Amino acid sequence: MKVTRPIGRYRLGVASRTLAAMAGGYALAAGFSAAVSLGLVQWMPRVEAVLTATMLAWWVYAIAIGWAFYARTAWGAWGGTLLPALVLGACAMMPRWIQAAP
């Protein structure tokens, strides 16, 4: 019987992926919802834009959960959820930053 790595390290990796799926997926869905609602508000009323973006964010959250367990490493799971979340969050904050610039 060949043991490739300790069971504790494996469990820590699974726990890290689970946390990346929950927290990183939530951050990605929130950033997606904010960015898409700001984009949709140009073509539809504000309430409908927010509701549409929120409903689409559920798909993004499900895809992020799948990605967290599909990634080759736990670091890849974190990077695959948090980096796009940061980009989408920056896109959502861009109008406020432009408005506040002197």
Residue-range domain boundaries for the chain: 20-94
CA-wise closest residue to 16 among 89, 87, 85, 79: 79
Q: What is the pLDDT of residue 8?
A: 81
Question: How many CA atoms lie less than 13 Å away from 49 in the CB half-sphere?
Answer: 14
> DSSP letters along 41-87, please?
TTTS-HHHHHHHHHHHHHHHHHHHHHHHHHSSSHHHHHHHHHHHHHH
* Burial class of residue 20, CB neighbours in 10 A (0-12, 13-18, 19+): buried
CA distance 46 to 52: 10
Q: What is the pLDDT along the chain (102 residues), one digit of tens a residue?
A: 566 667 888 888 899 999 999 999 999 999 999 999 999 999 999 999 999 999 999 999 999 999 999 999 989 999 999 999 999 999 989 888 887 766
